[in-house]
Each structure stands twice: as C-alpha cells, then as structure tokens.
Structure 1
Amino acid sequence: MKSVIMEKLEEIERDNQIKILYAVESGSRGWGFESKDSDYDVRFIYIHKPEWYLSIQDRRDVIELPINELLDINGWDIKKALMLYKKSNPTLLEWLSSPIVYMEYSDFIRKLRILTQEYFSSKSCIYHYLHMAEGNYREYLKGETVRIKKYFYVLRPIMACMWVERYGTQPPMLFKDLMDSLQLENDLVNEIDQLLVRKKAGEEMNEEKQIKIINEFLDEKISYFKDYVKSLDMRSETGFDGLNQLFRDILTEAWENNY
C-alpha cells in the first residue's frame, strides 16, 4: 500500500505544482489500534511556489482527494498549518509525532518541533481532547449495549488529557505508548489490552454489553477534566516571528533551484 500512497503524493505534487514537505499516517493506523481492514488516513503539509503567495486573490489552502474505501488523503498549505500550529492545534501536533512517515522534506519538521514548547497550550489541548472524548462517549458508549470498538476513540483522548495534566507537553501518538506511560490500574489495563488484541486481529466488534470498569474510568475522568480545564490559564500568546522566519526559510530552500 505504501507504493500506492507514494504514487498519489507524487501525482498531487505534479498536478498542483507544489512540494510536499511532510506526509504521515493519521487516524487508527497512526494511533496504533488499526484493524486489518482499516483505511489509510494520509495527511500532508505542502508549499506552493513563491508567486502563489504574492497574489491579491484568496486562494484555497487545502488539497483533498476523493475518499475511497481504502484511502483518505488530504493536506494543508504551509501557511494554514503554521497558523494552526500557533494556536497549538492538537491535530497538527499529532502529525509531528506520527510513527508512520511517508515523506519528509529537508529539516522543516525538525525546526517546527523545536518551536513546540513556545506555542504549546495545555488548556487548548485538553479542551480539544475532552470535546472529542465527550462526543464519542455520549454517542456510542452510554447505552446498555455499546459500539465496542469506539472505546478506543474515547480512551485515547482521555489518556491524552491525563498526559497533558501530568507532563504539560503534547501526548505521544501511539495508543500503547500513551497508556503505558500513565500507570493505570492493572485490571483496567488488562481489559483494554484484550480489546486491543481483538481489534488488531480484525475481530468483528459491533454491539456488546458495556465494560463496567472502562465506563467507570471514563465517567470519572470526563467529569474530572471538565472541572480541571476551567482552572487552567491560557498561556501568553507567542508572536509570529519564529514561524514567519521558518516560512521564509523553507520557501526559499524549496524553490531556490527554480529561479
């Protein structure tokens, strides 16, 4: 499948006259709890030629390919990505730690990672993950029977909140790394590990009875973080200087041989 993805990325570069700076796997494969039939969620950051940015016209700053059963691929222009980075956007920050990297141009991402502590906001990050956890919990896990595989889509964001509270940094992307770092109760870990084995084996995981120990854990943590996040102060806003310089540097580097 990697060769198909690489062909698609190279096709996107040609058709749109761009350079892809970074392309990774997101979603369940990036999080490490994919099933055998999980699709591929490819996300990328790209840069146009300098003249594209020197225009009075509003320009579309995303590229999206039609989604099929196996492949979901889209990307953000570098300016959009850097604006979201300035706001400590957790989705973008997750891309920076994806364990599956398809393309990486120059040292753009290394420089971006160096700036993370200047722009990271615990409050923004916890709000993001808490909202994700609450929505999935309310929709899939509140009845007597539940969509069993959806536990992962609530457990991971709640554990991400726990990581941010404890360490004050962006959580690791891999679910197993995140869980192992938090020293959870053994009985809870055993239940989650059993679910993880079933999901990765491709076992059918539709409606089943609630798993009491996991639901109790989620109820407790969602309630706790709803109060906790209100106590956090927003960090002082970091200026644009570092990101502006990074944008100019990579714009020059990416296209210097074309002029």
Structure 2
Amino acid sequence: MIYPHPLHDAVRTHPYPLLFATVSGAHLYGFPSPDSDWDLRGVHVLPAREVLGLHPIRETIDSDRVVGGLELDLVTHDLRKFMALMLKPNGYVLEQLHSPLVVLTTREHAELRDLGRRCVTRHHAHHYLGFSAGQWKLLNRDDPPRIKPLLYTFRTLLTGLHLMRTGEIEANLEVLNTETRLPYLDDLIAQKRTGHEKEPLTGDLGFYETEFRRLTRQLEEAQVATHLPANVEPEVEAELSDLLVRLRLPI
C-alpha cells in the first residue's frame, strides 16, 4: 500500500528511533471516510542516558499535524511502556503491533509480534466488551446518531469474538464479516466509506440494539468457552525484558 507522504515524513522526523509505525483507526478497521484523518501508532526506544537520568522521560509522544489538508495523529510509546501494556489485557496495543498497514518496520518488530501472540489471554474479552459498551453509549448520546460509533461497536465485538475463537488479532471489519456474514454491516461500511466522518445513521436503532446485545452475549460465552490461557506465561515476560535491555543497551 502506498501511504501519503506526511506519514513517511512523520516517521522520518521522529525524535527517537522507532521500532515500528503502523496505521490504526478507521483505515485499519476498513471503513475510512474520504475526510477521515490518519492514525499512526508506533513504538520508540529512549536512550539509556535519558531513562537513567533525573529528567522526566518521554514515555508517550503525541503529535497532531495537518499537511496539505491531510490530518495526521502520530502517537508512540517508549518500548518499556508498550511492553507493560502488552502484558495487560489490552487489545488496542496488540492491534497496533499486528496491523498489516505498516509504514515502518524492523527485525525487532517481527520479534515483538511473535511475543505479542503469546500475550493473548481470555481476559482480552473484557477489553472488547468494555470498548463496545462505551461506543454504544456514545452512539446514543449523539443527536442524530452517527454511523461511526455503531461501526466501532460492532468492530470491537467481532474482533473480540474472533480473538476468543482463534487466538488471532483481526481488526478489519470487512474481513471479520466474511466470517459472521451480517448483511447490514456491508451497507453500513459502504455508507461510511462514501460519506463523511460524522455521517448520520439511518435505519432502525432498535434493530441495532438487539444485534449489539446478541453479539455481546456471544462474546461473553466465547470467553467462557475459549481455550486461551488465563495468564501470560512468566517466560514471555522474561523474553520481553531481554529484548528491552538489548534494544536499550545495544552492543
């Protein structure tokens, strides 16, 4: 995939070495509008001198910019913080790590992805249940309701279901719907892709609420039935630590 130049410029001018930079948000989820901004996420590696010194460290760097009418939001975490999030049931960072929309990668990125697969537990279902419930509340606060939070609601539920059943991260709603085959999702995706970021929702909200609650129950049941482990193995944390030290203190 060919990315707009501002994405490459943002990566090139980052103040610290990057382990990876990937595209997240609506472009990753498969339903960007023509006016959607670009969400770029990644991991930077702070030098040992800064980590060991007395000054506050830049664990997270958030940079918004508009270049030629293109809105770009770049957020990166220092590797240590990112690894700590990986060890929690945080599906969002795993989606960034495994995003197929790669702007910058390294050999260590591949190593981190392998370790990320071993960080998946049954408790990641809580992340997706909470995220979808929050998006559903957001949908109902809007007047009129918008398509975007509804798509986010279904996207998170289906990502969680797929994860519980397969142990694999898949964030693209169109891909997920090839498995679930919900005909209304194709229509909603098409409306979002050809409309605006704040495209209003048309249709029966009561029907979508019934679907939201049905899929929520399915995810809750999938969490009980999954073969995923309850906890991350201690060996994974040890390997993450070794990778962090190796990158922080290169020989």
> Which range, TM-score by smaller chain?
0.7 to 0.9
Query: Which ranges of structure 1 fall in alignment gaps of 5 or more residues?
Result: none
Query: Which ranges of structure 2 fall in alignment gaps of 5 or more residues?
Result: none
Q: Which amino acid letter does the alignment assign opposite residue 84 of structure 1?
A: L
The Cα of 1:251 is off from its aligned counterpart by: 3.0
Q: Is the 8 A contact 2:120 2:232 kept in 1?
A: no
The equivalent residue for 1:148 is: 147
The equivalent residue for 2:163 is: 164
The equivalent residue for 1:193 is: 186
The equivalent residue for 2:121 is: 121
Describe the SS at the equivalent of 1:38. coil
The Cα of 1:100 is off from its aligned counterpart by: 1.5
The Cα of 1:36 is off from its aligned counterpart by: 0.7
Q: Looking at CA atoms only, which structure, 1 or 2, has the larger radius of gyration?
A: 1
Q: Distance in 2 between matches of 1:127 and 1:90?
A: 9
Q: Distance in 1 between matches of 2:85 and 2:249?
A: 22
The 5-angstrom pairing of residues 81-160 of structure 1 reads 81-105=82-106, 107-123=107-123, 125-141=124-140, 146-160=145-159
Describe the SS at the equivalent of 1:146. coil
TM-score of the pair, normalised by structure 2 = 0.84
Q: Distance in 2 between matches of 1:29 and 1:117?
A: 22
The Cα of 1:225 is off from its aligned counterpart by: 3.8
Q: Percent identity?
A: 20
Which stretch has the larger CA shift, 170-179 or 49-58?
Answer: 49-58
- Count of aligned pairs: 242
Q: 1:77 to 1:25 in 2, by over 3 A?
A: same
The equivalent residue for 1:11 is: 13
Q: Distance in 2 between matches of 1:144 and 1:48?
A: 44
Q: Deviations over 1:181-229 (max 9, x none)?
A: 3x34xxxx22211121121122672143325544322121224545765
The 5-angstrom pairing of residues 174-213 of structure 1 reads 174-181=172-179, 183-184=180-181, 189-202=182-195, 205-210=199-204, 213=207
Q: Is the 8 A contact 1:39 1:70 kept in 2?
A: yes
Q: Distance in 2 between matches of 1:199 and 1:113?
A: 30
Equivalent of residue 238 in structure 1, options 227, 234, 238: 234
Q: 1:86 to 1:99 in 2, by over 3 A?
A: same
The equivalent residue for 1:250 is: 247
Q: Which amino acid letter does the alignment assign opposite residue 108 of structure 1?
A: E
Q: Which amino acid letter does the alignment assign opposite residue 195 of structure 1?
A: L
Q: Distance in 2 between matches of 1:50 and 1:171?
A: 32
Backbone CA RMSD of aligned residues:
2.8
Q: Deviations over 1:141-162 (max 9, x none)?
A: 4899632332211100111221
Describe the SS at the equivalent of 2:76. strand
Q: Is the 8 A contact 1:86 1:238 kept in 2?
A: no
TM-score of the pair, normalised by structure 1 = 0.81
Q: Distance in 1 between matches of 2:232 and 2:30?
A: 34
